[in-house]
Amino acid sequence: MRVVGLDIHRVFAEAVMLENGAVRRLGRIGMTRDHLTAFAKTLTHDDHVVVEATGNASAVAEVIRPHVGRVVIANPRQVRLIAEARIKTDVIDATVLARLYASGFLPEVWIPDEATLALRRQVTRRTQIVRQRTRLKTMVQSILHAHLVPPCPHADLFGPRGRTWLLAQPLPGDESDAVARHLREYDRLSEDLKVVERELAREARADANVTRLMTIPGIDLVVAVGLIAAIGPVARFAGPDRLVAYLGLNPSVHQSGSGKPRHGRITSYAGDWVTTVS
């Protein structure tokens, strides 16, 4: 078996091949579908390709997968040799990926199916819109603070009563114009949020798992869909303890020798490499 390590960047990837213990540099590959397809066609169905998890890793895997035996995405948080290498180059990074995989020590990331990826993208879009709306509120609050305007007496500054109060505040003309622009942008984002949430609701109605999650007190549609997007098919976990570990909710354990174990805070870390069922 030959192992190909790819250190991928925004516009190119550095490739090396590990064969019979020897590493051979394959050069740089453009990060386009045409370049990746042409490169993949030079490989065989016995070759395994390893890449580090990045924003475009799933797309790279999708292009290369039909031409090789397997594509593996590595968990970057766990590939310590790359992060801590004193001499760090693209070739070294690609070589480390290939060697770790060949030795059986590569911490892998589960590659979601297309439906899960699409759901994750939608959940991310909703989160981005919510954050942008929050940022606009913060900007308006900063304007009010800069001009010694007292806190809004209403719960929602951008609600109907809050807006009436806001527009009545004495502000310089340029600041009033800025507040008006922020309100218009907030309203535009609110319309986008409604569209995304309608699409999420449509997806939720078709998923029985979302409905089951919503029977748990405190879990609404948005939280349920977010959990499904993060977890993917629950059958990929060997047991409940693996799912808890994936979500970073398991308590840390400290034990030395035959001493009594001490349980500390939750790990707060999610890693697909510890959960995938082989």
**Alpha-helical runs (H) found in the chain:** 33-40, 57-64, 80-84, 90-103, 114-146, 160-167, 173-205, 208-213, 221-231, 240-246
Say yes or no: 157 and 203 in one domain: yes
Say yes or no: 9 and 97 in one domain: yes
Say yes or no: 24 and 102 in one domain: yes
Say yes or no: 120 and 105 in one domain: no
- Nearest-angstrom CA–CA distance, 255 and 253: 7
Say yes or no: 168 and 265 in one domain: no
The overall average pLDDT reported for the chain is 87
Say yes or no: 79 and 97 in one domain: yes
SS3 142: helix
Q: Domain holding 9: CATH number?
A: 3.30.420.60
Say yes or no: 183 and 247 in one domain: no
Q: pLDDT tens digit string along 90-104?
A: 898 899 899 989 988
Window from 11-25, 67-81, 165-179 with minimum mean pLDDT: 67-81
> How many domains are there within the chain?
3
pLDDT over threshold 80, residue 278: no
Q: pLDDT tens digit string along 47-87?
A: 999 998 888 999 999 999 999 999 999 987 777 655 566 55
Q: Residue 15: inside a domain, yes or no?
A: yes
Radius of gyration for the chain, computed over Cα atoms and rounded to the nearest angstrom: 25
Q: Residue 33: inside a domain, yes or no?
A: yes
Q: Which sign, positive or negative, has the C-alpha torsion 103, 105, 107, 112?
A: positive
- Nearest-angstrom CA–CA distance, 272 and 278: 12
Say yes or no: 32 and 91 in one domain: yes
The encoded tokens of residue 147 equal 């001009």
> What pLDDT was estimated at residue 85?
61
pLDDT over threshold 60, residue 276: no
Q: Residue 226: inside a domain, yes or no?
A: no
Full DSSP string of 194-209: HHHHHHHHHHHHT-HH
Say yes or no: 104 and 118 in one domain: no
What is the extent of the structural domain holding 128? 114-207
Q: pLDDT tens digit string along 196-255?
A: 999 999 888 888 889 899 999 999 999 999 999 988 888 888 888 888 877 777 666 666
SS3 52: strand
Say yes or no: 118 and 186 in one domain: yes
Cα 165 to the chain's mean position, in Å?
Answer: 39
pLDDT over threshold 50, residue 266: yes
Say yes or no: 202 and 250 in one domain: no
Examine the fold and report which residue of 109, 135, 159 is the final residue of a domain before the chain moves on.
109
Q: Residue 264: inside a domain, yes or no?
A: yes
Q: Residue 216: inside a domain, yes or no?
A: no
Q: Residue 140: inside a domain, yes or no?
A: yes
Q: Residue 103: inside a domain, yes or no?
A: yes
Say yes or no: 190 and 265 in one domain: no
* First and final C-alpha spacing in the chain: 19
Q: Residue 245: inside a domain, yes or no?
A: yes
